[in-house]
Amino acid sequence: MGIDFSVEQREAYAVVRVEGAPSLEEFLHFVEALAGQSRGWLSGRALCDLRGVRTLKSYAEHQAVGEAVGRHLQHLRQVASVVPADRITHTSEKTAQKAGVNLMVFTSEDEAIKWLTPPE
């Protein structure tokens, strides 16, 4: 598979760091596998760092990813995705939101963390 990832559990959210050059099919399988693993996360929040993904640049691919997130990650309360500035389109965000997933896309990890951890 053209994808490597790690998961770090933090107090208020999980960090999923993804790297590689996956095909769209490989990435969609990853989202499905992540759904099974994330069901046990107590926080219900995830920060997905996708800055290390070197593929999946087209509108159609972003839409397919958003559809997969919408189908498989509805059990999470919040999902923050961090992508390189030159890849932000908000297509996956809008598609996942239409399916009921609270997904926001950021270019800054700090901004994503602020969104995931609002002041109490």
CATH number at residue 20: 3.30.750.24
User: Angle between the 24-38 and 59-72 helix axes, to the nearest 10 degrees?
Assistant: 20
Total domains in the chain come to 1
Q: Are 49 and 16 in contact (CB under 8 A)?
A: yes
User: Is it the case that residue 120 has pLDDT exceeding 80?
Assistant: no
Q: For residue range 33-60, list pLDDT tens digits in order.
A: 999 999 999 999 999 999 999 999 999 9
pTM score, two decimals?
0.94
Structure tokens at 79: 């999902």
Spatial distance between the Cα atoms of 23 and 10, rounded to a whole number of angstroms? 29
Q: Are 68 and 38 in contact (CB under 8 A)?
A: no
| Domain interval for residue 82 | 3-116
Q: Are 69 and 101 in contact (CB under 8 A)?
A: yes
User: Angle between the 91-98 and 59-72 helix axes, to the nearest 10 degrees?
Assistant: 30
